[in-house]
Amino acid sequence: MSTDLHTLAIRQLKRVLSNLQEILRLAAADLEARGIDETVLLASRLYPDMFDLQQQVQAATDIARRGAARLIGEDPSSLPDNAPSFEGLIARIDTTLAQLEAFPAEAFIGKEQSSVVMPIPKSFGGGKLTFHALEFLTDFLLPNVYFHTTTAYAILRHNGVNIGKRDFLGMALSNS
């Protein structure tokens, strides 16, 4: 039995990024209602050595887009890190979602055991990690996207934005 790598990767990446996008929309509305300048929140971080909110969103989108490309042996694309507003970050997620949607399902067929080489930035010690594609997805790609998305969520909650677990999970509550 083979693994549907496309469904495992693209479905999850699209879901977590779509949920992040909605959280950013809620945060923008919350800031406007409270009369808080968005630049304050965009520069907020949980700890001095961590990325700020803007960088967390940029990292989540970069890792998702580049990681999906690596799964099928394509060269990863890049986006400029110039989205210094909630509107810009929401648009960045739109671009990433469109790129994820554009990866053809057929390109993932039979790639589970193919080799994925992940260069490690010098700021993280340099070098490279090599994975089988399925391991790359489960042990590196998804955990990293969830880490940066969760941290963005935590920054927003820490700063009083009225969001909760159901927003993170993308689960609207119904009255039925």
Question: Could you report the per-residue pLDDT of 8-51, keeping only the tens digit for each?
Answer: 999 999 999 999 999 999 999 999 999 999 999 999 999 999 99
Contact 105, 6 (CB under 8 A): yes
Burial of 98 from C-beta contacts in 10 A (0-12 / 13-18 / 19+): exposed
Q: Rounded distance, CA 37 to CA 103, Å? A: 37
Comparing C-alpha atoms, which of 173, 131, 168, 170 is closest to residue 148?
Answer: 168
Query: What global pTM score does this model have?
Result: 0.92
Query: Has domain 5-108+115-168 been given CATH number 1.10.3720.10?
Result: no
Question: Could you report the per-residue pLDDT of 126-144, keeping only the tens digit for each?
Answer: 999 999 999 999 999 999 9
Q: Is the dihedral of CA 165, 101, 54, 116 positive or negative?
A: positive
Q: Where are the domains of the chain?
A: 5-108+115-168
